[in-house]
Structure 1
C-alpha cells in the first residue's frame, strides 16, 4: 500500500481555503494538517506549491453512449476525458441502446464500466410507462437514482401517462431526476417553423421552438406532482430564468425535497452565440437568452440552484453538421467543464469555494454518495490539483473526446488541471495518463 503526501497545497473545502498537506494511505485520505512530515523514505511526495487542491468533481449527468451508440463515444474514451478535466465520478444516463430500463441491462452497463472506466461510476435507472415493477427492484444503495424523460426522450422513454407518472412518484424514495420540456408545446412550435422554413430551420430559432414556455410548463407540473406525492425530485439542466422561481434557498440542501441543476453550456453560452457556433451548441433544453443566463447565475449563487453538471452528450461532427431537423442535440463537455468554471472565477463571477460546493460537495449531498466530494479524513482520496496561472488553448490536438470536437475549441483557459488522484492513485499528470485501474463503483448512504 503506497503512501502519498501532497505538500504545500491551497486546499479548497467546505467554504474555506487554507494552506496544508494531505496524507493518503491506500484509497483514503489519512490525515490533513498544516505540516505533515513523511515518516519513511517510501512516501511519495508531491509538492503542490502555488497550486489549489480541490475534491474530485462529481458530474451527476453524462451520456457516454455505451452500449449501442459507441461511434459517438464510449465509457472508456469519455471517462478518460473526464479525468483530464478533474471529474473523478460520473452518473450516466439510461438512454443508450438498449436502454437501461431493466435490472439486467443496467447491470450490463456496470460490467462494462468495471472493465473500462477511468473514473468512478454509477448509472441512472430509466423509467418508462410500463416498467414500474423493474423500478421497484432497484437497490438504492448501489444505483444513483431514477431518470424520467418528461420531454425530449429517445426510444420509448417518454413518460407521458399521468397515472403512471404519479404511481412512480408515489412508489420510490430514490432521487427522481427529470428532463422537463413539454412535448405538445414543442411540437406546435416546430410545426410553425417547418411550415415557414422546411427542414433547414435557422438554428437561432431553436430556443423559440424549445421555448421558455415548454420548459416552465413541464418543470412546474413535475414540481406540483412531487409536492403532492412527497417524492424526492431533482430537475436537470434548468435553462430559463422563469424556472428559477420554482426553487427555494430557504432550507439546507440535505433537507430539500425538490432540487435543481444547471449545466455548463447554459452558464457560458447564450442565443447570441448561435450565429458563430451553429448546431455545435444545439442542446435540449436550448441555450436561451442572455437574460436567462444571467438569471441562472443569480439562482446558482443564491442557492436556489444546487448543482453544476455537464449533460455531456457527444455526437460526431458529421451528425452535428446536418440541417436543423436532422442535427442531434447535445455536445461533449466533461474535459472542459471545470476549466470553464475556473475561467468564471477569474472573471470574478464565482468563488473557488462556490465552484467546489456546486460541483463536488452538493452532488455528494444530493445523491448521498458515500465518502466522496470532500477533502476529509476517512474519505476516498479523489483529488484534483489545479494551477490557476497556466494558460492553454482548446485545439483539436488536445481534445480527448471520441467525437473529436468541442464547443470550446479556440477558447483559452487560464487554469489547468495538473494532477488527478482517483481513490488515492495518481491517474493523470501534466496531460499524461497513468494507465492503472483505480475506478470504483459508487455506493450511496441510503
Structure 2
C-alpha cells in the first residue's frame, strides 16, 4: 500500500517543514515537496494540518489481564490511536502481576491479538524475584518497573538489600514510582483520626505529600548514582524533585531521566473541589507552585518525557469515599489534544511537544526506528487539525470506563488521522477494525 500525504506541516526535530510524505507499506519512503500523486494508491490532503510522529506513551495501565472490568488492551489501545498514540509501554501491576517471564510473555501474546497500537510491557520487580528480573531480554522488553510506593496492585518493593541488588545487577532501564511509604502512612493516620474514612479529597496532596515524593525520589537517584544503574523516574509531581535532574548533557548520555504526566501539568489542588476523586492520582496532583515548577523543568530539559499514566477505574469505583476510591484516571485519548491546547495558550511550542512525547521516549528507551519522521523509519504518524473546536463528552470518549476527568473541557485541536506501521488506524472519528500494532524492539 502506498499512501501519499500532501501539503502537510511536518513537525520533526525542532523544525516545521511544509512538505509531502509518501508511505510505502509500513515505512516512511520519501519526504519532499510535490511528490507525484500518481505514485500512490491513496492521497490524503493535509493542507493546514500538522503531521507529527506518533506519540509514544511510556507509562500506561491497560488493566489486562485480571482487571478488565476497568479496561483492556483492545479498548484502551483503541482510545490510544484515537488520540494519536501509536506506541505504548504498559505496566506490570495487572492480575496476576507480571513478575515472571511466563506471565510477562502472556501479556505480549494478548497484545499480539488485540492491540491497535504498538506495544511493550514492563517486567515487574518485587522483593523476591531478582532471578526472574535478570532473565529479561533487553531487545524486546522496555525495562524493569519498581514501585517504591504502594499504588494500584500493591507491588511495593521496600527491601533495601533487594533494591540495591536490582540496581546493581540489571543493565536494563529501571523505571520507578517514587513515594515514601512511611511518610504516607503517618499522614494518612493523622487525617483518619480527624475525619474517619471520609477524608476530604482535597487533602490527598497533603497525604501523598511533596516530602513523601522527594524522600523516595532522592533515595532512588542516590542509589542509581552509587550503582551506575539506568534510572527513569516516572510521574514527577513536585518542584522540589526537579532539582534532582540534569539538563547539561544530551538525553542519549543521561543515566538518570524523568517523566511528567499531563494531569500534573494541567490540574492543581484547587481542582479537587470540582473534580473530586476523578483527579485522585498517585502521586497526587499538587499546588500551583508545584505545577509551575514542573513546567519550568520540562521546558529547560530537566524533565525529558511527557506521558499519561493512563489508569482507568470504573465510575462506580471512583464514587467511593476517599479511602476506598482508587487512584488513577484515563488520559491516553486526550493527552495530545490537551498538550496542543497548552501550545495554543502559549505554554509550550509544538516542536517541544513533539520532542517530549515522540522523540525523547524513543531516545530514552532506545526504541528501534520509531519516534521520528525520517525516511526508512516506521510510518507511525498523526495528523492534527489545530483549528477544530470540540468538547470532551461521554459521546466521544472511547475508554472502557466511559468517563474522563476532562469532561466538559473545550479543546481546539483534534486528531484526524493516526497511522500505525503505515496503516490508517484512525480516521475522522472512526477507529479501523484491524489490529495493526507490533511488538516494539529496542536497540540494545
TM-score w.r.t. structure 1 length?
0.99
How far off its partner does 1:156 sit? 5.7
CA–CA distance in 1 between the matches of 2:151 and 2:201?
Answer: 20
Provide the residue aligned with 2:24 in structure 1: 25
Determine which of 204, 212, 215 is the counterpart of 2:213: 215
Cα distance in 1, alignment partners of residues 259 and 120 from structure 2: 18
Q: Which residue of 2 aligns with 1:259?
A: 257
Return closer, same or farther for 1:438/1:155 CA change in 2, 3 Å cut-off.
closer
The aligned residue for residue 5 of structure 2 is: 6
After TM superposition, list the pairs within 5 Å mapping 1:117-128 onto structure 2.
117-128=115-126
The Cα offsets for residues 358-403 of structure 1, whole Å up to 9 and x where unpaired, read as: 0000000000000000000000000000000011000111110000
Alignment-derived partner of residue 108 in structure 2: 110
Cα offset, 1:39, TM superposition:
4.4
- 8 Å Cα contact 2:54/2:380 also seen in 1: yes
Q: Which residue of 1 aligns with 2:441?
A: 443
- The corresponding residue for 1:192 is 190
Listed one character per residue, the Cα deviations across residues 53-97 of structure 1 (whole Å, up to 9, x for unaligned) are 000000000000000000000000000000000000000000000
Deviation per residue, 1:121-144 (Å, 9 max, x gap) = 000000001101001111110000
**Match in the other structure for 1:321:** 319
2: CA distance, partners of 1:415 / 1:155: 35
The residue number in structure 2 matching 1:15 is 14
Q: TM-score with structure 2 length normalisation?
A: 0.99
- Distance of 1:204 and 1:29 partners within structure 2: 48
What is the deviation of 1:43? 2.4
List gaps (5 residues or longer) in structure 1: none
Task: State the match for 1:65 in structure 2.
Answer: 63
Instruction: Tell me how far apart the structure 1 counterparts of residues 171 and 345 of structure 2 sit (CA, whole Å).
Output: 40
Select between 325-334 and 157-166 the one with higher mean Cα deviation: 157-166
Moved over 2 A (4+): 153-156
- Cα offsets for 1:221-276 (capped at 9, x unmatched): 00000000000000000000000011010000000000000000000000010000
Could you tell me how far apart the structure 2 residues matched to 1:302 and 1:14 are? 16
Post-superposition shift, 1:435?
1.2
Give the Å deviation of 1:38.
Answer: 3.0
Q: Which runs of 5+ in 2 are unaligned?
A: none
Q: Distance in 2 between matches of 1:360 and 1:254?
A: 14
Kept in 1: contact 2:117–2:437 (CA 8 A): yes
What is the alpha-carbon root mean square deviation over aligned residues? 0.8
Tell me, in whole angstroms, the C-alpha distance in 1 between the residues paired with 2:394 and 2:377: 36
Alignment partner of 2:379 out of 378, 381, 384? 381
Q: Per the alignment, in what secondary structure is the counterpart of residue 246 of structure 1? A: coil
1:34, CA displacement in angstroms? 1.9
Map 1:296-315; keep pairs closer than 5 Å. 296-315=294-313
Equivalent position SS for 2:408: coil
Give 1:34's aligned residue: 33
| Cross-structure match for 1:396 | 394
CA distance in 2 between partners of 1:9 and 1:89 (Å): 22
Alignment of 1:351-390 (within 5 A): 351-390=349-388
Q: Which residue of 2 aligns with 1:419?
A: 417
Rounded Cα–Cα distance in structure 2 between residues aligned with 1:113 and 1:223: 33
| Secondary structure in 1 matching 2:370 | coil
Shift of 1:437: 2.7
Deviation at residue 153 of structure 1 after TM alignment: 3.8
Query: Does the CA-based 8 Å contact 2:152-2:327 persist in structure 1?
Result: no
